[in-house]
C-alpha cells in the first residue's frame, strides 16, 4: 500500500522554486553549450560578429540567474547577429 506524505504549502513552494531554478540553469547551460565551439581558438565567428560579442553574450547568459525576478521572470540575451523586431 502506498504511503501518503502530506506537505505544507511552504514545502510545496520550496520544491516549486527549486524546480524553477533547475530549469533556468538547464536552459542557460544549453544555450552556453550551443556556443562552446565559437570560443575555440581557431573557430571562425559567424559572419558579422566578433569574438568579443560572443564573450559578452556568454557572460550575459551566466548572469541570468542574478536577474531580478529569477527564476520565474528573466530576459534571455540575444546572441550576436540576431536582429529583433521592435
DSSP 41: T
As a whole number, mean pLDDT of residues 9-31 equals: 96
Q: Are 32 and 58 in contact (CB under 8 A)?
A: yes
Q: What is the pLDDT of residue 84?
A: 60
pLDDT at 2: 84
Written as nine digits, the cell of 1 is 500500500
Residue 20 has pLDDT above 80, yes or no: yes
Residue 86 has pLDDT above 60, yes or no: no
Q: Which of 10-14, 52-56, 81-85 has the lowest mean pLDDT?
A: 81-85
pTM of the model: 0.83
H-assigned helices in the chain? 9-34, 51-63
| Chain segment 34-81, per-residue pLDDT in tens | 999 999 999 999 999 999 999 999 999 999 999 999 999 999 999 998
Cβ atoms within 10 Å, residue 1: 3
Amino acid at each position: 500500500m502506498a504511503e501518503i506524505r502530506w506537505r505544507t504549502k511552504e514545502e510545496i513552494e520550496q520544491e516549486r522554486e527549486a524546480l524553477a531554478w533547475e530549469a533556468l540553469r538547464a536552459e542557460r547551460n544549453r544555450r552556453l553549450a550551443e556556443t562552446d565551439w565559437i570560443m575555440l581558438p581557431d573557430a571562425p565567428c559567424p559572419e558579422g560578429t566578433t569574438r568579443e560579442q560572443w564573450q559578452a553574450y556568454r557572460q550575459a547568459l551566466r548572469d541570468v540567474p542574478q536577474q531580478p525576478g529569477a527564476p520565474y521572470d528573466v530576459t534571455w540575451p540575444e546572441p550576436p547577429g540576431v536582429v529583433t523586431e521592435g
